[in-house]
Amino acid sequence: MAHRRLSLRWLVLQLGLGLAWIGLLASRASGPVGTGLTPAQVGQMLLLAGWLPSVALAVWQMGHRSWRALIASDVLGAGLLVLLACTAYLPLFFFNVVWFLPLALLPRGVISELLVRGLRAVFQFCQIAIKG
């Protein structure tokens, strides 16, 4: 039961990283490098066409958390999203597909695993310090 709870926490962290990254990218839409879309429109586009398809990858990564599997699946997921952006999404979003590239390049599985392991080490250190 504890392993399942840790896996669900990892999944929430991984999906939350994606949402935070979308929020950051969408906030950049109103700047001088924006393409005329509002931040809300960019966020909605990235959420529906970029983040939702990655949920299946995140669920798969939850069960396969070795470094090799995480790196390979992050690279494969990024490649598929870039391929989608350059083919199927191009007629839908025209030049706005450029927003999918930074979303694809964030290795959320690897970052999630690093954060979980780091937090676990800090927590164990605090427990030792309190006992000692």
Percent of the chain with pLDDT over 70: 89
Q: Are 119 and 6 in contact (CB under 8 A)?
A: no
Q: Taking the model in full, what pTM does it have?
A: 0.75
Instruction: Summarize pLDDT for 34-51 with one digit per residue, the tens.
Output: 556 778 888 888 888 888
Q: Whole-angstrom Cα distance, residue 132 to residue 121?
A: 16
Give the range among 48-52, 62-66, 98-102 with minimum mean pLDDT. 98-102
Instruction: Give mean pLDDT, residues 6-31.
Output: 84
Output the CA torsion sign for 53, 58, 61, 65: positive
Total H helices, total E strands in the chain: 7, 0
> What's the mean per-residue pLDDT of the chain?
83
Token duo for residue 23: 């929020």
For 88, residues 6+ apart whose C-beta sits below 8 A from its C-beta are none
Give the CA distances from residue 80 to residues 6, 76, 114, in Å, rounded to whole numbers and listed in that order: 28, 6, 23
Instruction: Give mean pLDDT, residues 95-119.
Output: 85
Q: Which pLDDT does position 1 carry in this prediction? A: 60
